Every structure is written in C-alpha cells, then in structure tokens.
C-alpha cells in the first residue's frame, strides 16, 4: 500500500465549482441579455496613470460632445459628469437590436494629495477626455526669526 500525502487544498477548485453551480441553479438568471441591456447604466471607461508632471486621467466618451461634459473638483474629489443622447431621429420601434447605453453618467475620484483646481487642464479630442492634474508644490517650512529681549 502506497502512502499518499494528504493535501487539504486539492479539491478546493472542485468544491468552488459545485458551490457556483448550486447558486446559479437556485438563483439563475431570470432575464435574458436583451432585458439586461435595456436596464444598463453607462459608466465610461477610465485610465489613470502617473507622469513626471502629475496624474493623467483619460475617459472614453464616444458619442459625447465636449459641451455635454463637465469636470469639477471639490474637497479633493474630481468628478466627471455628462450625458450621451440617443439618435433622436430613430424611434424605439425602428431598432432591431440596441446594445449601447445612453443617458447621464457621473464618475468621481478621490485625489491623494491636496491640489489646486485652477492648475488642472482638460482637453477633449476624438471622443477621449484627457484631464491633467499637476503635482502640488511641496510646502516649504516658514522660518521665523525669534528675538530675545
């Protein structure tokens, strides 16, 4: 008889599959894909990365004009707001399939450092909003001269 070392994690993946199957059978999807798409909430995709000058935020906003987008900074929170409109010339009855989401959106991002909102630059080109947030200047210690009487 061969001695086999017991591995408690050997069957964890199989157990997880069984649990997932039980939940999907019990609480299965009651709607099909068409119903889910009609209830969609639009959240534009965003990339945020760091450069030597500061932080850059890029948001994909296809079908949105620059007049329909606003960028606000309040209490160190950067908020993007806007709206994407459906084609007003097409009525609901003319669509064979409608997967794109329309309506208002809002995305908020907490900034790590205290920044000056007046130094933030935003540009909009080819459906991509680019927000450049410069690094804050380091506060220099204030030197006070003390006189002894």
Check residue 140 and give its pLDDT: 54
Alpha helices in the chain (DSSP H): 12-26, 33-38
Residues in a beta bridge with 102: none
CB 103 within 8 A of CB 84: yes
- Burial class of residue 55 in the structure, from the number of CB atoms within 10 Å of its CB (0-12 exposed, 13-18 middle, 19+ buried): buried
Query: Which domains does the chain show, CATH number per domain?
Result: 42-134 (2.60.40.790)
Check residue 92 and give its pLDDT: 67
Distance CA 107, CA 78 (A): 8
Distance CA 11, CA 20 (A): 14
Question: Each residue's pLDDT tens digit in the chain (149 positions)?
Answer: 677 676 766 777 777 878 888 877 777 555 444 444 445 677 899 999 999 889 999 999 998 988 999 999 988 899 999 998 877 777 767 778 878 888 899 999 998 878 888 889 999 999 999 999 998 877 556 677 888 87
Q: Which sign does the torsion angle of CA 109, 115, 118, 124 carry?
A: negative
């Amino acid at each position: 008889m061969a001695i086999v070392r017991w591995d408690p994690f050997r069957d964890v993946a199989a157990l997880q599959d069984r649990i997932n199957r039980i939940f999907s059978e019990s609480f299965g999807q009651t709607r099909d894909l068409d119903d889910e798409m009609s209830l969609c909430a639009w959240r534009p995709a965003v990339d945020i990365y760091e450069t030597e000058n500061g932080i850059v935020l890029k948001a994909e906003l296809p079908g949105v004009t620059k007049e329909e987008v606003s960028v606000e900074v309040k209490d160190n929170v950067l908020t993007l707001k806007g709206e994407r409109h459906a084609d007003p010339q097409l009525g609901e009855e003319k669509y064979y399939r409608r997967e794109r989401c329309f309506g208002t959106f809002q995305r908020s991002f907490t900034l790590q450092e205290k920044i000056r909102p007046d130094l933030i630059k935003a540009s909009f080109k080819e459906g991509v909003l680019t927000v450049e947030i410069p690094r804050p200047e380091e506060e220099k210690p204030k030197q006070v001269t003390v006189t002894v009487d």
